[in-house]
Structures are given as structure tokens and as C-alpha cells.
């Protein structure tokens, strides 16, 4: 496709990298004899679902350009569908739909990592997410973790240090009460997940927010922030 015709070209390519494309045939007839419609379904990992919907018009334009009509089928529309995570069921909790899927989005974001996962959270006690990171490490993915040296983080402290050489940052300030409150995860330098949600069991029962961004400049800022923190605490340790 001509880059001059698609202002969202870089974002489209980043999304398609983690997507699957299906052709979903319908029984709805076109105006031609014995010809039916079919849809192009782009199945996207949940972390990228919002970004894809925002540029749906560009994908519709691309779909109309590449689709080739046959005697049996013609294109009706391009649709966006979530791509399910293998072997993972979404826990049912008493929140609005906006918050229900946060943990699931985090797990999916971890699972699609191919090179690196940089994690910085105030509290990290969720064993399911920990196990996902351990699995990615076994696959050769670089995993780095920064969190707070707080009594609430004792549950996984030894394991996080053993598996990832995690940095547990001491409180700072006049009375040592200031803690690391960063909450973000940079994956493959392709996207960043961030918000108010800590990787803890308590977060499952709070009304938390969570955003995933694939904007390269935005991702770069979080990556640089992690590098700064990592080097700072590496020297201190």
C-alpha cells in the first residue's frame, strides 16, 4: 500500500503484526445471481483493540483495495473482532465491562511479547501474572522488574529477585514514606500498558483504569523512564 495514502501506516503495520485475518462468509445475497457477501474479520489482541477501532476507516480502505470479488462472493465490510487468548478464561468480577478485562489485557500483552518486557509497578503480588512472566523468560524473552520494597510486596519478593533480579526500591523522602508509584509495562518497544491498576490481587476489586498505547513517541518516553529508573537503582544496589 502507498504510504502517502495511509497517514496511519505505521500504526496499521504494528496492529497487523499481532492480528489474524479471517474471511467470514454470509448467506446474504448480493444483487448478482447466486453471489453472497463475506466480511473481512481482523482479529486483534485485546490490548490493541481500541487502537484498531480508532483507525477502522483506514482498514476499510485497505480491505476494499486488496479484496478481489469472485462469482460466489463479494465484500460487504471490514469488521474488528477480539482475538482470544489460549488457555485463559476471564474472571468474572463485579465491575463495569471497562474494568473487567484489565487483567486479561495484561496477560495477553505479556503473551504476545517476542523480545522484552519491562515492568515497573508499586505493588506486584499477582501470581498468575508472575507465572506468565516466568514463561516468557523460559522462551528467551528479557524480563526486567522494578517495584517497591514494601511489606505488601513480600509475597513474591524472593521469587521475583530469583527469576528476574528484580529491584525492590526503598521508600525515600524525609520520612521514607514516598514509594514508587509508577504503573507501566513496556513490551518489545512496540506498545506500553499503563494506568492505575497494580499487579496485585487487591486491584481486581478496585475501580481501576488501564490504557494500551502503540504510539511510538509515547512508548519511547516510557522506555526512557524505565531505563533511567533501572540504571539509578542498579547503581544503588
Strands of 36-45's sheet in order across: 19-29, 36-45, 73-83
Domain identity same for 166 and 51: no
Note down the domain range covering 25: 3-83
**Distance between CA atoms of 108 and 74, rounded to whole angstroms?**
33
Q: Is residue 223 part of a domain?
A: yes
Domain identity same for 58 and 126: no
- Side-chain-side CA neighbours of residue 142 (13 Å): 7
Domain identity same for 157 and 61: no
Domain identity same for 51 and 111: no
Mean local confidence (pLDDT), 213-237: 83
Domain identity same for 102 and 194: yes
H-only helix segments in 7-126: 9-17, 49-54, 56-66, 97-100, 102-111
pLDDT of residue 164: 95
pLDDT of residue 136: 94
pLDDT at residue 143 tops 90 = yes
Domain identity same for 32 and 69: yes
Nearest alpha carbon to residue 187 among 122, 83, 110, 123: 110
Q: Is residue 92 part of a domain?
A: no
- Confirm if 176 and 206 have CB atoms less than 8 A apart: no
pLDDT of residue 181: 63
Q: Is residue 171 part of a domain?
A: yes
Count up the domains in the chain and report the number. 2
Average per-residue pLDDT in the chain? 80
The pLDDT tens digits for 160-176 are: 999 999 999 875 444 34
pLDDT at residue 78 tops 60 = yes
pTM: 0.62
Amino acid at each position: 500500500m502507498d504510504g502517502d495514502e495511509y497517514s496511519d501506516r505505521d500504526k496499521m503495520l504494528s496492529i497487523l503484526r499481532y492480528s489474524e485475518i479471517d474471511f467470514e462468509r454470509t448467506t446474504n445475497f448480493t444483487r448478482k445471481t447466486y453471489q453472497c457477501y463475506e466480511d473481512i474479520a481482523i482479529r486483534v489482541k485485546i490490548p490493541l483493540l481500541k487502537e484498531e477501532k480508532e483507525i477502522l476507516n483506514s482498514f476499510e480502505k485497505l480491505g476494499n483495495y486488496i479484496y478481489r470479488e469472485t462469482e460466489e462472493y463479494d465484500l460487504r465490510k471490514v469488521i474488528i473482532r477480539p482475538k482470544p487468548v489460549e488457555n485463559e478464561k476471564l474472571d468474572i468480577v463485579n465491575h463495569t465491562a471497562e474494568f473487567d478485562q484489565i487483567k486479561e489485557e495484561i496477560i495477553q500483552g505479556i503473551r504476545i511479547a517476542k523480545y522484552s518486557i519491562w515492568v515497573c509497578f508499586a505493588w506486584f503480588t499477582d501470581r498468575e501474572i508472575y507465572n506468565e512472566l516466568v514463561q516468557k523468560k523460559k522462551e528467551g524473552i528479557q524480563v526486567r522488574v522494578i517495584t517497591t520494597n514494601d511489606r505488601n510486596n513480600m509475597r513474591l519478593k524472593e521469587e521475583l529477585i530469583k527469576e528476574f533480579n528484580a529491584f525492590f526500591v526503598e521508600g525515600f523522602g524525609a520520612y521514607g514514606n514516598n514509594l514508587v508509584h509508577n504503573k507501566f509495562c513496556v513490551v518489545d518497544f512496540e506498545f506500553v500498558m499503563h494506568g492505575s491498576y497494580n499487579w496485585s490481587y487487591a486491584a481486581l476489586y478496585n475501580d481501576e483504569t488501564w490504557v494500551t498505547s502503540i504510539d511510538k513517541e509515547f512508548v519511547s518516553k516510557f522506555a526512557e523512564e524505565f531505563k533511567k529508573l533501572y540504571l539509578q537503582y542498579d547503581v544503588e544496589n
